[in-house]
Amino acid sequence: MLNEIFLAVIVSLDTYLAAAAYCNSGIKIPLLSMSVISLISAAVLGISLEFSDLIGRFVPSEICHICGTVIITAIGIITIFKSIVRSITRHLSEKGEVSVRSGKYGIVMKLYLDETTADFDNSKTLSAAEAAALALASSLDSAATGLSSGFYGINPVIAFVSAFAAGFAAIALGNVTGKKLSSLHHDFSWVGGILLILFAVFGI
């Protein structure tokens, strides 16, 4: 059960950082929106774990473990790299040296660089629909992690429940500590990458 809880905490880190950014921007996340974000993120993780477990029934366990370790380590490295790119891009954006177009892929890119752009109507309150868009846009890593972690024999149901609880707690904590975290002017999503690599190395 420790693996399920640890995995849930890892995938909820981005949720915490997003909630902290919202708090710093004065955007409120109602209870319904909190539930939508937590539910979608947990569902993506649970479904990907279930699918991974299904694959594991037809592939030798040794190969599954090796593949899982390699893929999760790669995701961790990519997460660290993304954090660096995001920090550089935001720094350049603040200096007015880079802009993001709002065309076909602009919205996704904006959500990637700044989660607070999910508040499309600038109401300073995240609606359920906006929460769903944010959750789906940020669930790619959860899906990839779930597909790779299923090879470790993680229970999808326990992981789903743990991820939902962790996600809800992450949003609540982000609402409380957002201003203090954002005042540091650093992107901390690289911590999730480090944790993923540790999970890949010691999860076996």
What confidence category does residue 102 fall into, taking pLDDT thresholds of 50, 70 and 90? very low
- Per-residue pLDDT at 15: 83
Query: Which residues, other chains included, contact 146 with Cβ-Cβ below 8 Å and sequence gap of 6+?
Result: 11, 44, 45, 46, 47, 48, 49, 51, 52, 159
- Per-residue pLDDT at 164: 94
Task: List pLDDT tens digits, range 8-54.
Answer: 888 888 788 778 777 777 788 889 999 999 999 999 988 988 888 78
Residue 84 token pair: 């660096």
CB of 100 within 8 A of CB of 109? yes
Q: What is the mean pLDDT of residues 173-193?
A: 70
Task: List pLDDT tens digits, range 116-175.
Answer: 455 555 667 888 888 888 788 777 777 877 777 766 678 889 989 999 999 999 898 888
- Per-residue pLDDT at 35: 93
Bridge partners (DSSP) of residue 176 are none
Sign of the four-CA dihedral 181, 197, 83, 39: negative
The backbone region for 156, taken as left when phi is positive above 0, alpha when psi lies in -120 to 50, beta otherwise, is: alpha
Q: Which residue in 23, 30, 4, 8 sits closest to 165, CA to CA?
A: 8
Residue 1 token pair: 């059960």
- Per-residue pLDDT at 106: 45
What confidence category does residue 90 fall into, taking pLDDT thresholds of 50, 70 and 90? low
- Per-residue pLDDT at 107: 44
Angle, helices 31-56/2-24, rounded to nearest 10 degrees: 150
Most confident of 73-77, 105-109, 118-122, 151-155: 73-77
- Per-residue pLDDT at 51: 85
- Per-residue pLDDT at 5: 86
Task: List pLDDT tens digits, range 188-203.
Answer: 677 777 887 887 777 6
Token pair 């480090």 is found at 194
Task: List pLDDT tens digits, range 55-69.
Answer: 877 877 777 777 777
Query: Which residues, other chains included, contact 154 with Cβ-Cβ below 8 Å and sequence gap of 6+?
Result: 3, 4, 7, 49
